[in-house]
Each structure stands twice: as structure tokens, then as C-alpha cells.
């Protein structure tokens, strides 16, 4: 976290929790990177989580890297949206590498993860780990576009 933001937060830390301050990070971020960050929604059920990642324009799911370790999900890849015989006149999202690390509310099983890509959404179904095994592995993604 930025030093300037930390100084600004000091007088308020006893009154407000850390989540309150997350909404102010953009005021101190000169890089504007949060506007380029891949968007994620988490949905929690009983002993399971759906992690929905907004990834429009992915043509080949094999170009997406998906890893699960403990309570962390990592998604990475490359956005490449081009149209033949056209040039860009306005570009608010770029053809570029992306990476998003998502912290889950609890540790999940790494051996039981389902991932599907459909209509620009990567839907990752994760299950709570009830025993203590941790092993990083690459998760295959099913392409439902065909």
C-alpha cells in the first residue's frame, strides 16, 4: 500500500476496518491500473465458491492460465481483439497481457476445480478444503462456445 495512503489512514484506523479504506485506493494510485484490472465476482455457497471472471474476446481457452493454491486463484493470459480491414480510432481496452490474483474467503481443494468459459465469462467452481493437503496444479478449461 502507498505510503501517502497509509499516512492518510492513520487517524481513522481505530474507527474503520481495512475494507472501508479499499474504496479510497484509486485516489492515491497514479498508475490508473485498477481501471485495467480484470473484473471478478465471487459467489459463496455452503462449502463451495463460484468465481466468475470477465474475460471478453478469448478465442482459445488454452491461452488462459488458471491456477489454484490454498485460498488463492490466479488467472492470466492475453487479450487480443482485432478486426480485419479496420483500424482503431478509440481504444479503452488494450490488447495486452493480463493477470489477476483472487483471494478467496477460505482454502479450497486443488484437486476438485471445474472451469468453463462461455459468453466472455470464465466460471470457476471451487470446493472448500476440509483436510490439509496443498498442491498447485493447472486447471483445464472447457470451451462451451462450440
- Any bridge partners for residue 113, and if so which? 126
For residues 86 and 57, membership in a common domain is answered with yes
- pLDDT above 90 coverage of the chain, percent: 45
Sheet order of strands, 40-45 included: 40-45, 48-54, 121-128, 108-118, 142-143
Bigger pLDDT: 59 vs 52: 52
The pLDDT of residue 138 is above 80: no
Q: Which of 9-13, 112-116, 135-139 has the highest mean pLDDT?
A: 112-116
Mean pLDDT confidence for 2-22: 65
Task: Tell me, yes or no, whether 20 and 57 share the same domain.
Answer: no
Residues 42, 31, single domain; the answer is: no
As a whole-number percent, the residues of the chain with pLDDT over 70 amount to: 73
3 and 44 co-located in one domain: no
**pLDDT recorded at residue 105:** 94
Domain that holds residue 114: 38-143
Query: How large is the average pLDDT for residues 56-65?
Result: 90
**Spatial CB neighbours of 112, under 8 Å, sequence gap ≥ 6:** 127
pLDDT band at 134 (very low <50, low <70, confident <90, very high): low
Q: What is the pLDDT of residues 83-125, one digit of tens each?
A: 899 988 888 877 889 999 999 999 999 999 999 999 999 999 9
Task: Count CB atoms within 10 A of the CB of residue 49.
Answer: 20
The mean predicted confidence, pLDDT, of the chain is: 82
57/76: higher pLDDT: 76
Q: Does 76 share its domain with 99?
A: yes
Are residues 78 and 102 part of one domain?
yes
Are 102 and 68 in a shared domain?
yes
Amino acid at each position: 500500500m502507498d505510503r501517502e495512503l497509509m499516512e492518510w489512514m492513520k487517524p481513522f484506523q481505530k474507527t474503520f476496518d481495512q475494507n472501508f479504506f479499499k474504496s479510497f485506493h484509486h485516489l492515491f494510485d497514479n498508475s490508473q491500473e485498477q481501471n485495467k484490472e480484470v473484473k471478478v465476482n465471487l459467489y459463496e455457497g455452503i462449502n463451495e465458491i463460484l468465481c466468475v471472471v470477465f474475460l471478453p474476446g478469448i478465442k482459445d481457452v488454452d491461452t488462459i492460465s488458471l491456477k489454484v493454491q490454498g485460498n488463492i486463484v490466479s488467472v492470466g493470459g492475453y487479450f487480443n481483439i482485432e478486426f480485419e480491414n479496420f483500424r482503431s480510432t478509440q481504444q479503452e481496452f488494450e490488447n495486452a497481457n493480463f493477470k489477476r490474483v483472487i483471494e478467496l474467503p477460505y482454502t479450497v481443494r486443488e484437486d476438485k476445480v471445474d472451469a468453463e468459459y462461455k459468453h466472455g465469462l470464465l466460471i470457476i467452481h471451487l470446493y472448500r478444503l476440509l483436510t490439509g493437503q496443498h498442491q498447485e496444479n493447472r486447471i483445464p478449461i472447457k470451451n462451451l462456445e462450440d
